[in-house]
Structure 1
Amino acid sequence: MDPAIYNGFLLVAALFFGAAFILTSYRILAGPNSLDRLLGLDGLVAMIQCALATYICWSLDLTVSGAMLVVALLGFISSVSVARFRKKDGT
C-alpha cells in the first residue's frame, strides 16, 4: 500500500478518535448519575486502547503494547469496583 494513503487513513482515524474523546469527555463531566459517568469512563478506556493500537500501526513500535495491557486491566478493575461498591445517587 502506498504510504501516503496509509498515513491518510491513520489521520482520519486520529481525527475520529479526537472527536470521540471530546464527546465522551462531555458525557463523563455532564452525566446525570454515576452510572452514566462510569459508562463514559469505560468508553474512554476503550478509545485509549484503540488510539494506542492506531499509534502502533503508525509507528510500527510494539513497546506500547505493555501500556495497552495496563490500561485494559485498570479499566476492568475500576469498572468492577465502582459497580460493586456503588450506592444510589442522592442518598
Structure 2
Amino acid sequence: MIEAALIFAFVCFGLGTLLCLWRVMTGPEVADRILALDTMVINVIAVLILYGIWQGTAIYYEASMLVAMVGFVSTVAYCRFTLRGDIIE
C-alpha cells in the first residue's frame, strides 16, 4: 500500500515540477519566474524525501537539507538582484 502512495506522490510532485518549469519559461514577469523557481526547489525537496522513504535510507534527507539551503540562498540572491541590480554591496 505504501508503494502505491509513493508512486502517486511521485507523479503529483513531478507534475508540479513540470508546471513550475512551464511558468519559468513563460512567466510574464521576473517575479513570477523567481517564485516558480522557488516552488521547483520545494518540489525537488519533496521528491528527494519521497525517494529516501522508498529506498529506506537517510542520506536523501541530508541531501534535501542541502538543496533547501541552496534554494533559499538562490531565491534571496535573485530577489536582491531584481530589486537592487546588485547582489553584493
Q: What is the number of equivalent residue pairs in this alignment?
A: 84
Aligned Cα RMSD in Å? 1.4
Considering only CA atoms, is the larger Rg found in Structure 1 or Structure 2?
1
How far the C-alpha of 1:69 sits from its partner, in A, is: 1.5
How far the C-alpha of 1:65 sits from its partner, in A, is: 2.1
Moved over 6 A (4+): none
Pick one of 68, 77, 81 that aligns with 2:73: 77
Q: Secondary structure at the match of 2:19?
A: helix
Q: Distance in 2 between matches of 1:51 and 1:57?
A: 10
Q: Give the alignment of 1:31-70 within 5 angstroms.
A: 31-70=27-66
Gaps of 5+ in 2: 85-89
Q: Deviations over 1:8-64 (max 9, x none)?
A: 010111111121111111001100111100000000000000111111111111112
Q: Given the two structures, how large is their TM-score scaled by the length of structure 1?
A: 0.85
> Which residue pairs with 1:18 in the alignment?
14
How far the C-alpha of 1:66 sits from its partner, in A, is: 2.3
Identity of aligned pairs, percent?
31
Q: Distance in 1 between matches of 2:35 and 2:56?
A: 31
Q: Given the two structures, how large is their TM-score scaled by the length of structure 2?
A: 0.87
> Which residue pairs with 2:87 in the alignment?
none
